[in-house]
Amino acid sequence: MEQYEPGRLTATPRRGPRGRRPALTRRSLLRASAGGVLAVGGLGTLTACGIPPAGTTRGVTATTDHSDREKVVDFSNWPEYIDVDASGRRRPTLETFTRRTGIEVAYTEDINDNDEFFGKIKPQLAAGQDTGRDIIVLTDWLAARVIRLGWAQKLDPENLPNAFTHLAAQFRDPEWDPGHAYSYPWQGVSTVIAYNKKALDGVEVTSFSDLLDKPALKGRVGVLSEMRDTVGMTLLDMGKDPAHVTADDYDAAIARLRKAVDKGQIRRFTGNDYTSDLTRGDLAACLAWGGDVVQLQADNPDVGYVIPDAGIVTSTDCLLVPAGARHKTNAERLIDFFYEPVQAAALAAYTNYVSPVDGVKPWLAKIDKSAADNPLIVPDRTTAAKSHAFRSLSEKEAAAYEAKFAKLTGA
């Protein structure tokens, strides 16, 4: 019986009597293409690949600025990180900016994770190309890396008078960007301990030690997958300042966390997704970001937070103009606009994160009295004194620290 072979591509199912042409079969085709691939990708090409050093593009930062002719600015930000009106479709502060300056803001919420976003824009930045974005928001340690690699454009202080005068003292002059030559803070983020009252079921939580040690919380504790937040809180709990962390301190903190992981105390290392676990009660207590906690509290009265006596880790999400961006002046105007206390208040009232702008409190009180009195949004003196930032790490240190932390998380 003549079998129909789907792999046979010739018009003639049998080979011609004189066999002038061998039939093209699936096997011969596979063989041929495998040979072709090997020929194209011979070992020579393997050597030819290679990844150029990331820092060599320092010269590319001088990009032509098209701000005069093109009245637009492309702004990439994290989700729910800007004020939205009741309808959920309009962004009042951005609209005010457009009305005042005539510059349209193309706003995209496409940053979900620092590492992931860096992986996404790295190839373009490394090749000296435009990423299509004029402003990006990165957490301080990544902003430091991008600046160090020469992938951020130097800002013109002349375009940033508000930013210069209104920047709050605690945000001024980070060691990785002296004088704010390349970056300005967008919002400050404090890492606190959040809990679900119902799930705690009477267990008292006042320090990070409680989370790591109390047997009643076994398997119901969450910590953050951001290395600096989780290890920083551990260091503080051990009486060490993350601003001056040494390799030995770091190893000790990892060992402390390792013990909790091995005991089964820690349920998961979470990103933003701890919020649903906490409201559901699967997590009784966890490390959490300040602004999230304020928003969660509004939706669920069982959620509460603790600022431990040992202190909290703070970080800053920063605005940067990436290399190759076409509209630097427009971007600077937008940055400066958000340093007007009125606009900063509107922003903080929505995001509930720490505003880096001085004089925001009276304006915030006009919008939302409770927000102005919340130490997670406008830190009072005691909270500010308890805040510690993680030291800026060299690329080599960061790789070693991240590797140790990754091993802790299971991979």
Partner 1 sequence: MAAVTEAPPPLAPTAPDDEPPRGRGRLTPYWLLLPGILWLLVFFALPVIYQASTSVQTGSLEQGYTVTWHFATYWDALSEYWPQFLRSVLYAACATVLCLLLGYPLAYLIALRAGRWRNLLMVLVVAPFFTSFLIRTLAWKTILADGGPLVGALGTLHVLDVTDWLGWTSGHRVLATPLAVVCGLTYNFLPFMILPLYTSLERIDPGLLEAAGDLYARPATTFRRVTFPLSLPGVVSGTLLTFIPAAGDYVNADLLGSTDTRMVGNVIQTQFLRILDYPTAAALSFLLMAAILLMVTVYIRRSGTEDLV
- What count of other Cβ atoms lies within 10 Å of the Cβ of residue 240? 20
Q: Which residues pair with 268 in a beta bridge?
A: 222
216 binds partner 1 (CB under 8 A): no
Structure tokens at 334: 């937008």
Structure tokens at 45: 């090409």
Q: Which of residues 160-189 bind partner 1 (CB under 8 A)?
A: none
Which of 9, 127, 216, 255 touches partner 1 by CB under 8 A?
9
Which of 50, 59, 215, 239 touches partner 1 by CB under 8 A?
50
Which of 59, 88, 202, 410 touches partner 1 by CB under 8 A?
410
Q: Give the helix/strand (H/E) hosting 371.
A: helix 369-373
58 binds partner 1 (CB under 8 A): no
CB of 284 to partner 1, least distance (A): 10
112 binds partner 1 (CB under 8 A): no
Instruction: Tell how strand 135-139 and strand 72-76 pair up.
Output: parallel
Tell me if residue 131 falls in helix, strand or coil.
coil
Nearer to partner 1, 238 or 400 (CB): 400
Q: Give the helix/strand (H/E) hosting 228.
A: helix 227-237
Structure tokens at 162: 């508000």
Q: Which of residues 223-282 bind partner 1 (CB under 8 A)?
A: 261, 264, 266-269, 273, 276-277, 280-282
Task: Work out the burial of residue 309: count CB atoms within 10 Å of its CB; fewer than 13 is exposed, 13-18 middle, 19 or more buried.
Answer: exposed
- What count of other Cβ atoms lies within 10 Å of the Cβ of residue 256? 18
CB of 40 to partner 1, least distance (A): 7
Nearer to partner 1, 267 or 327 (CB): 267
Q: Which of residues 89-108 bind partner 1 (CB under 8 A)?
A: none
CB of 99 to partner 1, least distance (A): 36
Give Cα separations from 143 to 180, 320, 321, 364, 392 (angstroms): 12, 7, 10, 28, 11
51 binds partner 1 (CB under 8 A): yes
28 binds partner 1 (CB under 8 A): no
The per-residue DSSP string of 75-103 comes to EE--TT-S---TTSS--HHHHHHHHHH--
Residues at the contact surface with partner 1, assessed by CB under 8 A: 1-4, 9-14, 16-18, 20-21, 24, 29, 33, 37, 40-41, 45-56, 113, 115-116, 118-119, 148-149, 218-220, 261, 264, 266-269, 273, 276-277, 280-282, 395-396, 399, 402-403, 406, 408-411
